[in-house]
């Protein structure tokens, strides 16, 4: 499943695989709730982006900054279970993601 997909993606020359795990879980409720104001359900976009970019220990950020053709990924299988909220969270924080 997800592990096989992550291995296949990691072998591509233009993909910089995450360093520690492909299962980062950034957009799952347990991690993402700290960026949502409970009373209004408004996402604190800049704080969430800063935290996402600060994941140097997960993402190979220097390599991604040097080469604009490189991409990385997050292969968290749990995102499939939360398909109604995860796409909105991703779009809110990183609208350029495809």
pLDDT of residue 55: 62
Closest CA to 94 of 58, 51, 61, 38: 51
The count of residues in the chain is 98
Closest CA to 33 of 54, 53, 72, 25: 25
Structural contact between residues 36 and 42, judged by C-beta atoms closer than 8 angstroms: yes
pLDDT of residue 45: 81
Structural contact between residues 87 and 32, judged by C-beta atoms closer than 8 angstroms: no
| 3-55: pLDDT as tens digits | 888 888 888 989 888 776 667 787 888 888 888 877 777 778 878 877 777 76
């Amino acid at each position: 499943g997800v592990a096989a997909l992550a291995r296949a993606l990691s072998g591509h020359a233009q993909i910089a695989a995450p360093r520690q795990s492909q299962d980062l879980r950034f957009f799952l409720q347990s991690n993402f709730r700290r960026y949502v104001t409970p009373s209004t359900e408004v996402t604190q976009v800049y704080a969430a982006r800063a935290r996402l970019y600060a994941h140097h220990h997960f993402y190979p950020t220097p390599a991604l900054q040097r080469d604009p053709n490189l991409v990385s990924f997050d292969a968290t299988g749990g995102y499939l279970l939360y398909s109604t909220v995860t796409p909105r969270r991703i779009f809110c924080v990183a609208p350029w993601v495809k």
